[in-house]
Structure 1
């Protein structure tokens, strides 16, 4: 057995929680290399919109994950600074020589925030829930090899064994990304009744939102705020023996839009703020007076894109197709999508929306991710003449002289693309895009909707025609499998496919299986370059721009080490403290 063990420090402590006393031999993780802080205080952040759920298995949008990430944890995690897998609820793990059997040893003495001990039963339960066909969740696609589930069993109360049907190259990263542990003692009954979603919705009492993370839910007021408080049972200490986290609270204030975020930070109501590139000078001029620092983090690994609804299904209530057949024929035609990409004035967006602080992109991986980016993908750059030639070749021409093209059946080429009203940047991009559509003879109109309404449309009801949105991105493409796989829940233009709808998607699915089957880094990168080529050639999305990332943070915080990968400011929330 090849052992992957990180030496941790065990300590004996007396814990007090809700009037109960626990005497536990706890395998504490010692946070090394950080500044020793003092307990107390809070950090206040702004959030666009309310969370949709407190369920870490089913959550698939940032408004929920921004909260959940502080409450729940996995067995292992990827450390943004160390750039390696580190222990979390598993204090050590090992694999067999053939990489098919992995054994995880749980952290001794780890407790749920209600004082219940964490056991192997919780891990088994979490996997049972993720693999339940009735529980739609984004994690499952990361936890399969060649379409087959992992096999798993409880060895003892603190040991879990996972067996793979075949070699899974990024297994550790997959576990770190996707396997969040949820409490069996709180959720099993609801799960058996098919009520898991209801058991962790936003109306769930805070005491019933039970995790192992550094913070726990204290209060949620719809339309106002989410308050997280310190989990006194957390399993980390600093080198001086102080129990983490240092902060007493994290508060997320609900704000209506990005402009309100700007105002809240300027007024001193929030402590950290992502600055849109067009506002850089405005905030830079206030840096000294406002006692904050602007961190310039580089080009974003996420991206903005426009896609069309290519879902061939029908609404189960109305029995009508999600997309009218004549529009579906346009949206599923690759040449139409190439013409759309030629209509995107990326340089105009960079100049007028981002004040030059962004870069054009033409595929699913950011050029900033130099390790994985394929520079040889085709680029359908802004060229209205090229767009017109393609549309002409499709016999999409203006037949009645009204300035709008019609298809051969006489249907005007018109569609609506939705985007979230809270994001003024996307609204300004949308204005530029719809103007270009008009010049090309297309009636593409933008519609602003609330973020959670948008999420429901693209993920549940499929009642929309096109969407302008973004993905957060990652330094490792495994995180995007739920987007790239045809069966993925975030395969935006046609999610949850039973079988690939197109030949190119079937090719990508196979390439993904090849990627997952090899532990060889060079082979993984070659495969991912091929995947990017398939995406760029078929243009399921029109990729727009990647902005540069700026984060303003009050100078009162210690151990604040922002990173370009989200969450940029509080990825190490348990280590952050208020300086004197």
Structure 2
């Protein structure tokens, strides 16, 4: 692209030395007029609609503090914003906050907010909205209502007392006037901008709704009532079919050029055909285009493909513990009450299962083999590969070795007693592992029977259950007072900090394995505790130790990190590709026609 621009400047901007042109007067007039018309037509234009495709419908939660899926994020990325965002180097840059400053001991960070920012309903954005957002996530009823973003508020000053109900005074985030707000931390904080980066919700909309009722409120679910500060408004939807975003004329960076963005829910198998016909304009997160379709799409001519390492991975999780029915009904996440899943409680059993899975076979080599056709790689560490803390060498690499898997199980007493080709447990009881997975992601759906086949080659009987829609699957994983053993899921990781606590801390809402390892808790806390944690090299060493522990205790087997394959029609202009998103500055997007 740079080469093309340079060439254009050279050929259009001046005439080569020694070259002369004789032109008739009337030709000059015609040429000048044409150039003026071309100039008027060139550049950004206002108006038009683009259509994006996602292959699974959002569950219907469009409130940033409660949403759980990337499908809702496809809406919220355009409607809501945080105090800061990130650039192409993953550095934090200003967004709703213009600037910030920290105190000397790094226990406080003060943000100076932009004035004149409006919510979609015309109300002013102020510091009180920031305070309310973090207070709601610290509320005693937040987790019971299904909130999983506790990691953003747990380090705040007074969080435990407020969350437990010991006090009704929230002191973690404090407003000083309308446009100044201070985050206060219990201890010196090594990454305060990460904690302050969460999307803000409007106080005037939610202040009179109890936190426990926010998930059922129309203001969290219905088009026209979901209110943010972002460049587009959530205007309309045909549930489970399409979701319409319309231009926010009062957007603080300037009104978007596009009239609207329409999201359509489309089966992955037909996406590329619609992309070729121009019936959809872009396919990005989550999943993008299928690896097997890359070469086909590349030949379309009117489609741009972006391929880069994904901020995330697919995994096969082990349900190590289950919550009690009483805890599920009350919304409590109480590790002391968890019921161990004896079928998978021994880490050596989990390690044997890991050796039985042909992960490289899933990825393939790029010559048509595997689900990914080589566009990705098996990984052993649950930290994004792009992050400075990622250390593949620290983690155990479970190479595909059916004989080794069988040897481990034999030594543990898991042997075939009945002669049916499948192993019984050490007590001689039938040993069957239930494998659950969601619909939507075609690669994940196709991987489920392959995983079943891999495990059965090692004598592990697998009950492959009917897949469920994501809107049913995620609540079942969250409640987990069920007979889940193995589960498939994919995670899109944060690009802001490598701290894995949001997914793997014992009480984390997304810790679907219900992993409860005190050493893991100790290391994750150690990695963010000042003053040592201000040294990135120190944090890297601690996270290396944590990655080693994770891969040995193995709450989940990481299957692969797929390359992101985003595709968009070349009629869309102004798209900025960042390491983790292509949705940045969508107010600058425009279309040629």
State the partner residue of 1:498: none
Q: Deviations over 1:68-115 (max 9, x none)?
A: 121111111222x15321122112221112212221122111111111
In structure 2, the CA distance between the partners of 1:541 and 1:215, relative to structure 1 (3 Å rule), is same
Does residue 213 in structure 1 map to residue 230 in structure 2? yes
More strand by share: 1
How far apart are residue 342 of structure 1 and its match? 0.4
Which structure 2 segments of 5+ residues have no match? Answer: 1-41, 160-170, 365-369
Native 8 Å contact 1:44 1:253 kept in 2: yes
The answer for the alignment partner of 1:112 in structure 2 is 119
Kindly indicate whether residue 505 of structure 2 is the aligned counterpart of residue 491 of structure 1.
no
User: Does 2:326 match 1:310?
Assistant: no
Shift of 1:61: 1.0
Q: Post-superposition shift, 1:478?
A: 3.7
Q: Look up the SS of the partner of 1:145 in the other structure.
A: coil
Map 1:5-404 to 2 at 5 A. Answer: 37-47=44-54, 48-79=56-87, 81-136=88-143, 137-145=147-155, 149=159, 151-176=172-197, 179-191=198-210, 194-200=212-218, 203-204=221-222, 206-236=223-253, 243-255=254-266, 257-273=267-283, 274-285=288-299, 287-288=300-301, 291-295=302-306, 297-316=307-326, 328-351=341-364, 352-367=370-385, 369=387, 372-404=390-422
- In structure 2, distance between residues paired with 1:372 and 1:121: 37
CA RMSD in angstroms comes to 2.6
Distance in 2, matches of 1:56 and 1:210, equals: 11
1:251 Cα offset (Å) = 0.8
SS of 1:416's equivalent?
A: strand
Distance 1:180 1:318 in 2: 28
Range with greater deviation from structure 2 (453-462 or 207-216): 453-462
- 1:467: how far off? 0.7
Instruction: Give the CA deviation at 1:43.
Output: 1.9
- Matched with 2:28 is none
Q: 1:489 to 1:327 in 2, by over 3 A?
A: closer
Deviations 1:512-558 (A, max 9, x none): 44389722222222222122111111111111112223222111111
**Alpha-carbon distance, 1:189 to partner:** 0.9
Contact 1:367 1:375 in 2 (8 A): no
Answer yes or no: is the 8 Å Cα contact 2:363–2:376 preserved in 1: yes
Q: CA deviation at 1:130?
A: 0.9
Distance 1:327 1:436 in 2: 25
Aligned counterpart, 1:557: 572
Give how far 1:332 is off: 2.0
**Does structure 2 retain, via aligned residues, the 8 Å contact 1:167–1:518?**
no
Asked if structure 2 preserves the Cα contact closer than 8 Å seen for 1:556 and 1:579, the reply is: yes
Q: How big is the shift at 1:131?
A: 0.4
TM-score, structure 1 as length reference:
0.84
Partner of 1:532: 547
Say which SS state the counterpart of residue 429 (structure 1) adopts: helix
Write the deviation string for residues 210-234 of structure 1: whole angstroms up to 9, x where unpaired: 1111111110211211101111111
Counterpart contact for 1:124–1:152, Cα < 8 Å: yes
Match of 2:12? none
More helix per residue: 1 or 2?
A: 2
Partners of 2:319 and 2:513 within 8 A in 1: yes
Using the alignment, how far apart are the partners of 1:51 and 1:431 within structure 2? Answer: 26
CA-CA distance at 1:510 after TM superposition: 3.3
**How far 1:563 moved relative to its partner?**
3.6
Report the secondary structure of 2:269's partner residue.
helix
Task: Kindly state the Cα deviation for residue 571 of structure 1 after the two structures are TM-superposed.
Answer: 2.9
| Number of aligned residues | 520
Quick check: which has more Rg, 1 or 2? 2
SS of the residue 1:275 aligns to: coil
What is the alpha-carbon distance in structure 2 between the residues aligned to residue 517 and residue 455 of structure 1?
38
- Relative to structure 1, the CA distance from residue 508 to residue 524 in structure 2 (aligned partners, 3 Å threshold; closer, same or farther) is closer
TM-score (norm 2): 0.82
Q: Residues 148, 486 of structure 1: CA spacing in aligned structure 2 closer, same or farther, 3 A cutoff?
A: farther
Describe how 1:461-476 pairs up with structure 2 within 5 A: 461-463=480-482, 464-476=484-496
2:584 is the alignment partner of 1:571: yes
Per-residue deviation, residues 186-210 of structure 1 (Å, max 9, x unmatched): 1111126x42111246653x33211
Greater Cα offset, 388-397 or 310-319: 310-319
1:313 to partner: Cα distance: 2.5
Residue 370 of structure 1 and its aligned partner are, at CA, apart by: 6.0
Q: Secondary structure at the match of 2:540?
A: helix
Confirm or deny: 8 A CA contact 2:81 2:199 kept in the other structure: yes
Q: Supply the distance in 1 between the matched residues of 2:528 and 2:295 (Cα, whole angstroms).
A: 46
Deviation at 1:167, TM superposition (A): 0.8
- 1:4-54 CA-partner distances (Å, limit 9, x unpaired): xxxxxxxxxxxxxxxxxxxxxxxxxxxxxxx96222112211122134311
